[in-house]
Each structure stands twice: as structure tokens, then as C-alpha cells.
Amino acid sequence: MSRANYGWVVVASAFTLMFVGFGAAYSFAAFFKAFQAEFSASRAHVSLVFSLCAFLYFLLGAPGGMLADRYGTRNVALAGVAFLAAGLAAASQAPSVLVLYLTYSIGLGIGIGLTYVPSVGAVQPWFEKNRVLASGIAVCGIGAGNLFGPPLAAWWIELLGWRGAYLALAGVTLVLGGIAAAAIRNRPAGQAQATTGVPLRAALRARNFWILYVTLALSGFGCFVPLVHLGPYASDAGHPEAFGVLLVSLIGLGSLLGRFAIGAVADRIGRMRSLALMYLGMALMLVLWWASTGRIALSFMAVGFGICYGGFVATFPSVVMDLFGARSVSGIIGCLYTAAGLGTLLGPPLAGAAYDATGSYAMPILGAALLALVAAIGIVSLQRPHDARVA
């Protein structure tokens, strides 16, 4: 296979790695009620299981990306798949929420940290004209995991119990993830722009880096609140638990749509403007969530939020590539993603604590919307490259 065509194999491998990792992570919504019932835990404590996981995989994106830049994405991704499968298998035996922190949170956090950023970074140097499309298809793995993970987990929970469901997820992750990790590779250093760009140390001193960092932290507060709390919110509004799981899957469906559609939008109006619009759209969908309790409105909100979330995730790595080049792209993306980890660590547990204290999600939802709006304004202040297509 030619080197040009192998870029699409890298895209497919990255898609699969993100599908199994985030499918396992986002299936958490299906386990939420089971954990509350099994361990008599508050929503804040159960939410923290997911938030610690997400914080870790964003935090470890930086060292994961740097390891991939130095030792190759394949080796790092294989280690990540091993952590994913081990974390799920160990979580199936957890006797308490504390042990879930030590198994699910740490195992999946490390596993996704070693597969997500390295695989996203590996895609970027293989493409020039179709970079947003390729990046969008790759990160569609996240949306596909979000779409299929929760209902699949709910089905397995019904058949096998939540412990058996985690063992089944561990097996699927090990097989599919192992095949994808073995197939992914970095672009040979002698080709095109694979060695051009800003080194990591210089990027850390750049104004644009810190604008991206702050905006990502602000948006991170709201990104994962719906993924964790939309299901319980729907139950509080009188809807069946199955509808709450469906809403999380609809976020995944919207995410898939957003990741595919954003390429055409970015080509027309520019990648940076597209990123700002995605943050703005997230803010508007969060406001709609705050104002909604009916099935149609909540379903529309879930799909709309997913479109904006998916578009933002697909666009962000390409904006980083535009601003800093390919030389240290995985390491730079990984360092930036620690910002999302900070927001994610605080967002869902604070939302759960607010509900535990007030019996309402109104304050955290509106707060997350405001922060996403500020993030959109921040993107507008980036210093744009001379290439108008990325402006």
C-alpha cells in the first residue's frame, strides 16, 4: 500500500482506538443508577468516578503525546489498550465506589490518555488538503462510542448485570483496540511537513497556546455535564431511565454528524471561526437544556449539543496544526488537553453537588453555558496565520 493511502489506514485505526476507549467511558451513563443502588452513593460521588477518569486521560494526553512523538504511536497505543482492558476487568470486581476510583477511573484514564492524543496527533501530518476531514473521521470514533456504548452497556447490564457488562466491554476493547493499535503508525519523518513546525518548548511560550488553553478549560466545565447528568435529569423530569440513556446516545449521534459536517463548514469560513461557532453552539444548547423538560426539546438539545461538541473536537486538533505545525503536534495537543481535564474534573462533580444541595441542575447548567460563551469570545482573539483558510 502506498504511503499516501496508508494515511487512511491510520485514520481507521485512530477511529477504532477512540471508539473502544470512549465507548467504554461514555457507557458510564448506563451504569449510573446501578452504582447509586449498589453502593448507596450520592450523585456527586458517582459523578466523580467518571470525572477522575476524564481528568486523567486529559492530563496524560501531554506525556502520551510526547511519548508518541519519541517512541511511535503504535507502541504507546498498545500499552493504552492494555490499561483500558485491565481497568474494565478490575472494575467488574469493585466492592465500593472507592475501588471504582482505583480501577475504572485510573485504568480507563491512563488507557485513553495513551490512545486518544497519540492517535489524533498521528493523523494530522498524513494530510494537507483533507486534514479537517481526516481528523473529523478519526474523532468520529468518539461519537460512535458515545452513540453505541450506552445502549450496548444497558443491554449487557440487563443480561449479565453491571459486573458482567464490564467484563464484556473489557473483552471487546482488548480485541478491537489491539488490532487498531497494531496497525497505526506515524508518518515517516522525511515526508512533507512531518518535521516542520514549532517545538513544544516554543509553543508553551506562545500567546495563542495560552488562549487555546484557557478557552478549552472553560468549555470543559460544560462538555461532560450532559454526558453524566442528562440521564438523571430526564429521570427527575418523569421520563423512563431508558429515555435518559437514549439522550446520551443522541449526543453521540449529533457528535457523529458534527464531526463529518464540520469539514465543509471549516473549508468555507475557516477553521478558527468554525471552532468559535462550535463553542457558541454549545452555550446555546446548554441554555436550551436549562429551559427544557419535554422529550422533543431534550432530544433536540442532545443532538444539537452533540453536533457542536463533535465539531469542536474535530476542529481543535487542526487548529493546533495550523498554528504550530507538525513537529511536536501530539505533545502540544496533549499539553492543551490538560486544560479540558481541569474543567472535566470539576464540572460533573460540582453539578452533582449542586443537585444534592439544591435539588436542581439550573445553576451548573447556566454556569457552563456562560463559560462556553466566554470560550467562543476567546477563540476570536487568536492571532491568525496568514493562510486565510484557517482564519
Indicate which CATH number applies to the domain containing 361.
1.20.1250.20
pLDDT value at residue 276: 92
- The dihedral over CA atoms of 222, 227, 233, 238, expressed in degrees to the nearest 10, equals 150
CA dist 154 → 129, 168, 207 (Å): 40, 12, 45
Tell me the C-alpha distance between 210 and 216, whole Å.
10
pLDDT value at residue 361: 92
Q: Which domain holds residue 329?
A: 3-390
What does the pLDDT look like over 30-48, one tens digit per residue? Answer: 888 888 888 888 888 888 8
pLDDT value at residue 329: 75
Tell me the C-alpha distance between 18 and 148, whole Å.
13
More confident residue, 234 or 200: 234
The domain tally of the chain equals 1
What does the pLDDT look like over 257-287, one tens digit per residue? Answer: 887 777 677 777 888 888 999 999 999 999 9
Tell me the C-alpha distance between 43 and 95, whole Å.
18
pLDDT value at residue 388: 41
pLDDT value at residue 391: 47
Rounded mean pLDDT, 364-375 = 93
Rounded mean pLDDT, 366-390 = 80
Decide: 261 and 307 in contact? Cβ < 8 Å: yes
pLDDT value at residue 63: 87
Residue with cell 477511573: 105
| % of the chain residues with pLDDT over 90 | 40
3-class SS string, 149-176: HHHHHHHHHHHHHHHHHHHHHHHHHHHH
Tell me the C-alpha distance between 179 and 81, whole Å.
10
Does the pLDDT value for residue 55 go beyond 70? yes
pLDDT value at residue 192: 46
Question: CA-based Rg of the chain, rounded to a whole angstrom?
Answer: 19
Tell me the C-alpha distance between 286 and 184, whole Å.
36
pLDDT value at residue 330: 72
pLDDT value at residue 117: 83
pLDDT band at 256 (very low <50, low <70, confident <90, very high): confident
| C-alpha torsion sign, points 107, 113, 116, 119 | negative
Tell me the C-alpha distance between 276 and 270, whole Å.
10
Distance of CA 334 to the CA centre of its chain: 13
